[in-house]
Chains A and B, each alone.
Chain A
Amino acid sequence: MEIEELTVGYGWVGRPVVTAVRGVNLAIDAGEVVGIAGESGCGKTTLALAATGLLDPPGRILSGSARYQGTDLVSLSPQERRALRLSEISMVFQASMNVLNPVMRIRDQFLDGMAAHGVRSSEEARARAEETFDLVKIPRRFFDAHPHQLSGGMRQRAVIALALVLRPKLLFLDEPTTALDVVVQRSILQSLNDLRRELGFGVVFITHDLSLLVEIADRIAIMYAGAIVEEAAARELYKKPCHPYTRALMSSFPPLGGTRRQLEGISGQPPDMRRLPAGCSFSPRCPEVIAGTCEIIDPPSIRVDGGHVVVCHLYSEKEARVG
């Protein structure tokens, strides 16, 4: 999937629009795990909704494209988009308990989903569903259960199974494990990774938990105020974070070992998306702000090296000095 200059806003036609995602470029290769991290309200979820065509009014895509294997999802009709969903692109949300219908057996929810995509024979559907249950390690006896009979972790596994039952090639995961205990979270992530190996789907993993993302993603994009401010390979980003926001976000996660020292995290609050500051939107909170530049001129996108891109004035200055 390739997302280009995608801009998404909320607001009814004719009313002022609040832009939630601003000109995002992001490419997801087949079988790759791309992580998106940022504070609440930075536009992570809106980006995922827009890219999967699940954005409901008043949300709307203002410009840009999200191309999946060459087809622009933005220009497709709702019917065409629906045909792609689940079978090609799937999504798992944070609150799995609200995704499953509480008065329907899990079995029926699976059969429904598959019937909508042309799997008419119920034997075939059942076989497929059971196979997927085995893959995500849910005992088959839960197949005929109602959602409330499953623990939170099992429900989340069931939702993942549902998302994968038609073997999509791309899976969006929006904070899929945030509400779960660490041990459950880790075993779900383990299963997801095993599945990804086996089935070869690509993953867009959205979370605020940067320390988790460094472990599981191939590449990480950091979002702030609706825009990607830094993008790099996971290890590279962890070892050499360039954007001051990335550094601040990282220091918000205390380490599990080593010498304990006071961490400062990020001071201030995320900006009001209705009144974004001029220039770099992080400049009011930035500890390394260049007075007279950052709060006036939009920061340029700088390729630090290879696939490591940062949107910050600090690096244009350095580069100018070097060059």
Chain B
Amino acid sequence: MASALEPAVGTEEIAESPVLEVRGLTKTYSVGRLGRHKTVRALSDIDLTVEKGEVLGLVGESGSGKTTFIRTVIQLDRPTAGEIRVQGGEALPKRPSARRLREHRRQVQMIFQDPYSSLDALHTVSYSVTRPLRAFGIVPRSAQRKAVEELFNQVGLVPAGDFLDRHPYELSGGQRQRVGVARALAARPALLLADEPTSMLDVSIRLSIMNLLLELRRSNSLSLVFVTHDLAGAYYMSDRIAIMYAGHLLEIGPSSEVMGDPRHPYTQLLRRAAPDPEGDFGRDTQFDAQGDPPDLTSLPPGCPFAPRCPSVRGECRTTLPEWREIGAGHRVRCVLYGPAGDGRLGTALAQTPV
């Protein structure tokens, strides 16, 4: 099935250094009172890269660490361990200076999930877009209004003049999200982190925001990390898809492979759960979720999916599996696939294909 798919738009061989390189990213939080506190392991040892002009879909259920990942990358939260490198530069220091942070955030911008609460209700929307222009000194003061107009045109808020001096409450959800995109673009970043940018929007608006992001990627040669729990949306948007579960990255690879031929038992579970009118799921197939995601304060010692995994082996419960390369750029963290990358064996052992 995977071979029948055409490559996603814009995937070329890229020799340049990746736009984002993350190594061993770990984030823990301490919760509870002094003396009885517990450690929440929100992110465990995440390694991934985002290439120039690429859309990476980050898929997982709530609590899987998707949002923590992008909040850590943009330094809204400080990572506990690990390296973050942007455009081949120096890794961010553990406690970056204000100047270093500003430089980091000029390169990496974020689009928030909730367009209703992420814009300042007391100011006009052009104010929200002017702020990054000013903060990063993108254009001289006299050219700011013109720059905002251009940004509004880019994100499809036309004619821009009709929107500049409105307040967020005067705009629809989709229009607000476009303002959110314009604000992120204002800093002229190399990488956009979009945290479920469409989940609060109505069906018909979702697609138009996704199309807008794809178009901006093309016209501005942006890279995008698209966080979502919607598998179909991820497949539509992304060149590669990364699957997260309980703070771990479990599978990453080209979208067509991860969706068309999912290898990790968790990815297979997700794939079977997703609504798919094309599929032969029907109402008669049995679906068994095999339990719930683990408590992040007491993760199992081995693979986080082991307690639910239908193909679990003894070793899975004690040690976290190593990454196995099972195809070009397709990696999976599962013992079902031999260290030599013998995917055949794995397919036979794994659950029935989707």
| Partner-B contacts on A (CB < 8 A) | 39-40, 151, 153, 181-187, 190, 193, 208-212, 214-216, 238, 248-249, 251-260, 262-266, 269-270
Contact = CB atoms under 8 A, between A and B. Distances in A.
A258 B286 CA distance: 24
> Which 9 pairs, one residue from A and one from B, show the smallest C-beta to C-beta distance?
A254-B236, A265-B207, A186-B273, A212-B275, A214-B277, A181-B61, A187-B289, A266-B204, A211-B275
Given A238-B277, A255-B278, A258-B5, A249 B204 contact: yes
Contact of B278 (A210, A212, A257): A257
Contact of A193 (B207, B260, B278, B283): B283
Interface string B271-289: 1111111110111001111
A255 B5 contact: no
Nearest to B284: A193
B90 interface: no
A264 B214 CA distance: 13
Nearest to B289: A187
Contact of A182 (B207, B210, B274): B274
A208 B205 CA distance: 12
Contact of A185 (B207, B273, B282): B273
11 contacts: A151-B292, A182-B274, A190-B287, A215-B282, A216-B283, A252-B203, A257-B5, A258-B4, A263-B211, A265-B207, A265-B208
Contacts of B1: 257
B270 A183 contact: yes
Given A185-B273, A186-B287, A215-B283, A254 B202 contact: no
Nearest to A270: B204
B233 interface: yes
A256 B6 CA distance: 14
A159 B279 CA distance: 29
Contacts, number: 121
B259 interface: yes
Contacts of B275: 182, 209, 211-212, 215
A188 to B, nearest CB: 9
Contacts of B208: 265
Contacts of B229: 181-182
A255 B207 CA distance: 12
B172 interface: yes
A292 B273 CA distance: 46
Nearest to A250: B277
A215 B202 contact: no
A254 B236 CA distance: 6
Contact of A253 (B203, B214, B272, B286): B203
Nearest to B60: A181
A203 to B, nearest CB: 11
Contacts of A270: 204
Contacts of A215: 275-277, 279, 281-283
B272 A252 contact: no
A215 B214 CA distance: 29
Contacts of B203: 39, 208-210, 249, 252-253
Contacts of A260: 5-6, 8, 235-236
Contacts of A256: 231-232, 235, 259, 271, 274, 276, 278-279
B269 interface: yes
Contacts of A253: 203, 232
B62 interface: yes
Interface in B196-236: 202-204, 206-208, 210-211, 214, 229-233, 235-236
A265 to B, nearest CB: 4
Given A183-B61, A249-B203, A257 B273 contact: no
Select the residue from A209, A252, A263 with max chain B CB neighbours within 10 A.
A252
Nearest to A177: B275
Interface string B1-38: 10011101000000000000000000000000000000
